[in-house]
Structure 1
Amino acid sequence: MALSVAAPPVIAEPERAVKWPWIAAISGANFGLWVALFGPIQLLLGVQAQAIAPENKVAALGIVTAAGAVCSLIANPLFGALSDRTVSRFGRRLPWVLFGVVGGASSLVLLATANSIAVMVIGWCLAQTSLNAMFAAVVAAVPDQVPVAQRGSVGGWLGIAQILGLVCGVAAAEAALPNIAAAYLICVAILVAAALPYLALRRDLILDRRDRPAFAWMPFLAGFWIDPRQYPDLGWAWMTRFAVNLVYAIGTLYLLYYLGDVMHRADPAADLVTITAINVGTMVLVMIPAGFLSDRSGRRKIFVVIAGILLACGMAILAAGPGWTGALIAAAILGAGFGIYTSVEFALITQVLPSAADRGRDLGVINVANALPQVLAPAIAGLVVSYAGYPMLYALSACLALCGVVMIRRIRSVA
């Protein structure tokens, strides 16, 4: 029998603090999700594209990642909206977490067998679709069950899980190379094992069938447009997330090739793991303190401003081309900036949502700002690198980070 949360009601703001078993379980599911996403994004797709199409590896990687990002653009808000309306004895979010685990695992197995760019595109599109269904459900569970005063801290733990998922996904994949199939299967195993405790806990809010609104296609589709004139704070928060994620996507997508083709490192894959480890180390150090301090102070924007400035500084260092030591310093600064941003910005976002009844849909719309940069980054980065080189690419990233700082200050309803 599912362990439902009787109070508060599904559409009300939660008041009771969540306990450590739930925080640990949802963080574990988030960890497995990001292993399954970032193992391929950061390393495996690049290595596989190079093995299949060595003369056109940059274009091939761009096609695969962009196609997958388009699928995530659609999947995240769609499955978020579906989870808002889901009636089941297991709750309204958990069925979509299960769907994401099963679909994501199956898609990565397909990628493990891919021997053409076409199959890579199909496999990665299916992976992005199913894993974004899981992502939408996991993220929406936080405002469902976590009170506002605890969201910075919980956001910090989810952020740590995300970052550990990134580094563990890359490290596990790199350890299995040159066997690409084995590397994908390791990601599958971690995804399933990490998500099982959260699914087994079966703690979810249950929507009564009588409370579900009648379905009609036009209102359902119209709901995905949130007018920024009516909800300006949500609009500025969306733009900030878009700018920061575009910075990170542009700055990291071709880092493997930058290490090999520009810095001429002997083992760029291993060096990528080193940079990722340093990046993650600083993220982990700042995430929980930043989330805790934002909860205690009740202030969110100042932390996001600091994060944007740090991101701009890290990208500026890479633009200056300082060599291997400078790249490691830049990785540490970028880690601190992105760590602060990830833990605090999520809490800020949940405080500017228009409707408690449509949390999944609205967070899905917000999460488009995560996926859209993956579509644009390959085109932007490829164009800039072709005509101006990597220094200009990282200089543009620094300017984008500062744009995020300006936009976050426009939010009025959150301190």
Structure 2
Amino acid sequence: MTRTSEETISAAGATRQRRLFLWLFLVNTVLLSCYAAFIVIFVPNQVQTLDPMQKVGNLAIVTTSASIATIFIQPLVGAFSDRTRSRLGRRAPWVLIGAGGAAVFMLLLAGAATLLWITIFYVMVMILLNTLNAPIPAIITDRVPTRSRGVASAVLAMGTLVGMGAGVIGAGYFAEMIGVGYGVFAALVLLSAFGFVLFNRDFSSKDAERTPFYWRAFLAGFWVSPRRYPDFAWAFAARFLMILAYQGVQSYLLYILRDHIHMSVEASNSFAGILTVVQLLAALISTYASGKLSDRLHRRKPFVIGASLIMGCALAIPLLWPTQAGMIALAALFGFGYGVYLSVDLALMTEVLPAEGISTGRDMGILNVATTLPQALTPLVAWALIALTGGYSSIFVAGIGFALLGAVAVVPIRGAR
């Protein structure tokens, strides 16, 4: 092969990778905008409209139901995608199924008028958005070399942050016309998912060796021995604790603004968007640079530990300064730390998989349980803390403790530096 042809092949590969990164960013942006819009603005407003006096408990019922229902969705879809045989490859069919189904149930959720139907339709939306989300980490492991995974992780992190900001701002705009808002998000999900599949075609998996699926083996696979794979276990614990620290404030942000900072309904809807923009800008400063620097230094752990400590410090601000200005300071510092964490976390996760390339989809899905399980527990824990203490300060105290423990859990990991 001539030098010119080698350079042409290399350039084509670089172009494909840049295109993949662009669409990963777009899909993750839309996906996280949906999560943020629904969790922070749409669903809390729908729940409060039904019964203002029972809003905290009712929101816990809705969000906990969805989180419990989705705990095993990503590992299950990951395992199925490992075995999927189609012209579109292993992962793309699940991206399309998740997007199409989620769009339908978003429209149904928009018209829900009782707690039961809000819960049912919200659960279905979350199940299908998780179905869309499940193949994404496996796609990175399939198509991105190890040396570039820090950048890939940072690209996803930037999509997460932009999506969170855009989602809350957009939802705040549509807070008085939620039906239209759900329709807009449904359209964005469809466009981004179909665009991703169209412009990032995978190799056909129709002729790949078929691996049988056994439920007993799959369920047994959820037990990853901490003795045999200690790095995997510590990574699971670290992510679990960090999501606990993060989720308490995010889940009840609207109610914190109304009951802890004493803002009106209208003002809190718009101020939540301002906080998200501040958090986004702070995180964008740290995200991409952290991913690049992590790859250059070949280090993951110091970034994750540092991010955990920063986030823990940020959560102390509303305790000492329970004002709108204090919440802006929280958003800025918390966003900076969360940006660092997001930019490196996925790269760290891919380096501690028990058997990379064999059951990548399943293993990344199991690690994602460290995200979905605390999401299930957080509303119940927060509800109990609020009921016991009569206020939201206990959420911040608990978050500080979880963030510090998350930093400690990263230290014993040996498979990543």
- Per the TM superposition, whether the score is higher than 0.5 is yes
1:414 corresponds in structure 2 to 416
| TM-superposed deviation, 1:17 | 9.0
1:383 corresponds in structure 2 to 384
* RMSD (Å) for aligned C-alpha atoms: 1.5
Q: Deviations over 1:337-368 (max 9, x none)?
A: 11100110100100111122111101111001
| TM-superposed deviation, 1:245 | 0.6
Q: Deviations over 1:95-144 (max 9, x none)?
A: 00001100111111110110011111111111111111111111210011
1:94 corresponds in structure 2 to 92
**2:319–2:393 Cα contact (<8 Å) kept:** yes
**1:155–1:342 Cα contact (<8 Å) kept:** yes
**1:286–1:336 Cα contact (<8 Å) kept:** yes
Cα distance in 1, alignment partners of residues 185 and 103 from structure 2 = 8
Q: Deviations over 1:293-315 (max 9, x none)?
A: 00000000000011001100110
**1:17–1:146 Cα contact (<8 Å) kept:** no
* Secondary structure class of the residue paired with 1:204: coil
* Secondary structure class of the residue paired with 2:196: helix
Q: Deviations over 1:12-36 (max 9, x none)?
A: xxx9895211110122111121122
Question: Higher mean Cα deviation, 107-116 or 211-220?
Answer: 211-220
Cα distance in 2, alignment partners of residues 125 and 171 from structure 1 = 23
**2:169–2:274 Cα contact (<8 Å) kept:** no
**2:162–2:280 Cα contact (<8 Å) kept:** yes
Q: Deviations over 1:368-412 (max 9, x none)?
A: 111111211111111111222222220111111000111100101
| TM-superposed deviation, 1:202 | 4.1
> Which structure 2 residues correspond to residues 196-207 of structure 1 after superposition, within 5 A?
196-207=194-205
* Secondary structure class of the residue paired with 1:19: helix
Cα distance in 1, alignment partners of residues 167 and 52 from structure 2 = 23
2:363 corresponds in structure 1 to 362
2:405 corresponds in structure 1 to 403
- The 3 A distance-change label for structure 1 pair 210 and 270 is closer
Is 1:285 the counterpart of 2:285? The answer is: yes
- The 3 A distance-change label for structure 1 pair 71 and 412 is same
Cα distance in 1, alignment partners of residues 106 and 55 from structure 2 = 20
2:308 corresponds in structure 1 to 308
Question: Higher mean Cα deviation, 204-213 or 55-64?
Answer: 204-213
**1:319–1:390 Cα contact (<8 Å) kept:** no
- The 3 A distance-change label for structure 1 pair 325 and 207 is same
**2:24–2:155 Cα contact (<8 Å) kept:** no
Cα distance in 2, alignment partners of residues 321 and 106 from structure 1 = 43
| TM-superposed deviation, 1:225 | 2.1
**2:319–2:396 Cα contact (<8 Å) kept:** yes
**1:67–1:125 Cα contact (<8 Å) kept:** yes
Q: Deviations over 1:128-173 (max 9, x none)?
A: 1111111111121001111111111111111111111111111111
Q: Deviations over 1:274-325 (max 9, x none)?
A: 1111011111111100000000000000000110011001101122234221
- The 3 A distance-change label for structure 1 pair 87 and 56 is same
> Which structure 2 residues correspond to residues 167-316 of structure 1 after superposition, within 5 A?
167-207=165-205, 209-266=207-264, 267-316=267-316
Counting aligned pairs with the same residue, the percent is 34
Cα distance in 1, alignment partners of residues 234 and 16 from structure 2 = 29
Letter in 1 for 2:160: Q
| TM-superposed deviation, 1:185 | 1.2
| TM-superposed deviation, 1:210 | 4.8
**1:315–1:334 Cα contact (<8 Å) kept:** yes
**1:87–1:208 Cα contact (<8 Å) kept:** yes
Cα distance in 2, alignment partners of residues 44 and 163 from structure 1 = 19
> Which structure 2 residues correspond to residues 66-105 of structure 1 after superposition, within 5 A?
66-105=64-103
Question: Higher mean Cα deviation, 385-394 or 235-244?
Answer: 385-394
Cα distance in 2, alignment partners of residues 105 and 386 from structure 1 = 35
Question: Higher mean Cα deviation, 353-362 or 218-227?
Answer: 218-227
1:374 corresponds in structure 2 to 375
* Secondary structure class of the residue paired with 1:203: coil
Cα distance in 1, alignment partners of residues 300 and 16 from structure 2 = 21
1:333 corresponds in structure 2 to 333
| TM-superposed deviation, 1:205 | 4.5
Cα distance in 2, alignment partners of residues 74 and 120 from structure 1 = 21
Cα distance in 1, alignment partners of residues 46 and 327 from structure 2 = 25
Q: TM-score, normalised by structure 2?
A: 0.93
* Secondary structure class of the residue paired with 1:282: helix
| TM-superposed deviation, 1:196 | 2.8
> Which structure 2 residues correspond to residues 25-174 of structure 1 after superposition, within 5 A?
25-174=23-172
Question: Higher mean Cα deviation, 313-322 or 151-160?
Answer: 313-322
2:4 corresponds in structure 1 to none
Cα distance in 2, alignment partners of residues 396 and 214 from structure 1 = 44
Letter in 2 for 1:112: A
- The 3 A distance-change label for structure 1 pair 208 and 225 is farther
